[in-house]
Amino acid sequence: MKKLTPYLRNKARIPKQARGIKTKEKIIAAAAALLSQKGYHNIDTPEIAAKAKVATGTFYSYFNNKRDIFLEIMHRKYKNADEKVFSIYIPKYHKNKVDNYREVKRMIHFMINGDYMEYNTNPQLLKEMLAMILLDKEIEEKRLTEERKLINILLSYMKNYKKNIRISDLEASAALLYKMMDNMVLQIKLDTTGVSKKRLLKEIEDMVCRYLLN
């Protein structure tokens, strides 16, 4: 079996100065735009560099190849979900059951709608990411690693409200809920149903509440 290379462990440097950080961001933005327009297999590093208006050699100062930059884009998707959907949410714990019940409903609403907002990525780029996850074993492993982090955060929230949750196997439930919500929100973002996004998001929220709460 082919040994997986550690994520982003390469000779490319990590910029610390503002100018270097700005250049790296330009390269990432250019790569994301090209991936959306043409797909992973139809672009190369010189094209990414040209789109970012930097020399090809400059590209290699920050990334070893286009695969590295794809991994960076995917990593940021999950990092943003962590920071903007989970970390911003501050759970509140109450002494009485009624208030905790309401708080769990608020948490579910926040997560589903926050997850939807995180899918503001270009739909074509999302499709390309999904295709690469299916085709590349290492990319799939990295996706699973990032997902586990988010599932563990969700699990920690659920444990705090376990008296209000009717599920006994919280770990399995957290994994199931994350996968279900993420996939359903993705389908809504890709507009595959023909039903309004607002109605679909509300229905997901109601389904999760009925599943979780006493």
CATH number of the domain at 45, please: 1.10.10.60
Q: Please give the residue range of the domain that contains residue 26.
A: 18-64
Q: Are residues 44 and 75 in the same domain?
A: no
Q: Which of 181, 173, 182 is nearest to 155 (CA)?
A: 173
Q: Are residues 130 and 36 in the same domain?
A: no
Any domain includes 12: no
Cα-Cα-Cα-Cα torsion 192, 196, 202, 204, nearest 10 degrees, comes to: -10
d(CA 36, CA 47): 14
Q: Are residues 126 and 198 in the same domain?
A: yes
Question: pTM score, two decimals?
Answer: 0.72
Least-confidence region, from 19-28, 32-41, 61-70, 140-149: 140-149
Is the Cβ–Cβ distance between 126 and 190 less than 8 Å?
yes
pLDDT digits (tens, 9 = 90+) for 87-124: 667 778 888 878 888 888 888 888 887 777 776 667 78
Mean pLDDT, the chain, as a whole number?
A: 84
pLDDT digits (tens, 9 = 90+) for 47-58: 999 999 999 999
Any domain includes 3: no
